[in-house]
């Protein structure tokens, strides 16, 4: 899940960026409305975390513009303005959640995750594919009942593949959804994480490679359409 944080306080921005990345999100950072507009024009996000007091305007202006354009991306306002009137204004202009500074980071990460999931198609809390169980809420993975230890990035990649079970997921899709703008799409970063996942998930292989297209987890009905599947 990819998140855009719009925050002009550099220290706080770095803390939020680092913490959300540690929680498994791909995160980009903007410190002005103009920079946020540019990033939104070139990338798709699952959630926005927006400060109100920015150098070039009120973060609510960004939310209003998005809603007028028909964008439904969830927005969490992260601001020091704690008056009831400020919170009401945020919701009236299209914000989905409101967190007042200072805040507990665990709560912020949980709220961002909830907003990201709200924007998706409804999914069961535990995804099951054969003997593979992916607990999306607790971020736990079991294979044949054995609890596996995955990194945040490995879980993010597996979560996307399981969400699209039976569909081929391209390297570009994985980069867009699981990495931030600092990732180099031409590198072998995706292949390295897939290789680590295959090793940890063990045999028989769960993740297949569709040559020239991407990767797939199927539910046992046979190879997915789109090309030969390598295991």
Exposure letters 47-68 (e unless 16+ CB within 10 A, then b): bbbbbbebeeebbbebbeebee
Report residues of the chain scoring pLDDT below 70: 119-124, 181-187, 219-231
Which residues fall within 8 angstroms of residue 165, CB to CB, at 6 or more apart? 127, 129, 217, 218, 219
Q: Are 58 and 52 in contact (CB under 8 A)?
A: yes
pLDDT of res. 119? 62
**Does domain 126-230 sit in CATH 1.10.10.10?**
yes
In this predicted model, what pLDDT tens digit does every residue of 158-173 receive, in sequence order?
Answer: 988 998 888 899 888 8
Tell the CATH topology of 2-119: Rossmann fold (3.40.50)
User: Bridge partners of 145?
Assistant: none
pLDDT of res. 22? 84
Q: What is the DSSP secondary structure assignment for residue 11, as one 8-state letter?
A: H
pLDDT of res. 223? 40
Segments making up each domain of the chain, as ranges: 2-119, 126-230
pLDDT of res. 124? 67
pLDDT of res. 211? 85
In this predicted model, what pLDDT tens digit does every residue of 31-57 receive, in sequence order?
Answer: 999 999 998 988 889 899 999 989 999
pLDDT of res. 182? 66
pLDDT of res. 116? 83
């Amino acid at each position: 899940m990819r998140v855009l944080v719009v925050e002009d306080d550099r220290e706080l921005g770095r803390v939020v960026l680092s913490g959300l990345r540690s929680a498994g999100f791909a995160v980009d950072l903007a410190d002005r409305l103009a920079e946020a507009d540019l990033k939104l024009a070139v990338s798709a996000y699952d959630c926005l975390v927006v400060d109100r007091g920015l150098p070039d305007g009120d973060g609510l202006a960004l939310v209003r513009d998005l809603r007028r354009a028909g964008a439904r991306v969830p927005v969490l306002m992260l601001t020091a303005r704690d008056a009831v009137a400020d919170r009401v204004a945020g919701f009236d202009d299209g914000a989905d959640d409101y967190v007042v500074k200072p805040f507990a980071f665990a709560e912020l990460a949980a709220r961002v995750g909830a907003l990201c999931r709200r924007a998706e198609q409804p999914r069961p809390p535990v995804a099951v594919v054969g003997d593979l169980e992916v607990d999306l809420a607790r971020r736990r993975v079991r294979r044949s009942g054995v609890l596996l230890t995955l990194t945040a990035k490995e879980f993010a990649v597996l979560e996307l593949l399981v969400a699209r079970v039976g569909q081929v997921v391209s390297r570009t899709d994985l980069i867009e959804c699981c990495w931030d703008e600092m990732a180099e799409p031409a590198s072998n970063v995706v292949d390295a994480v897939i290789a680590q996942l295959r090793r940890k998930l063990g045999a028989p292989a769960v993740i297949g490679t569709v040559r020239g297209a991407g990767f797939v987890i199927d539910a046992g009905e046979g190879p997915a359409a789109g090309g030969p599947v390598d295991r």
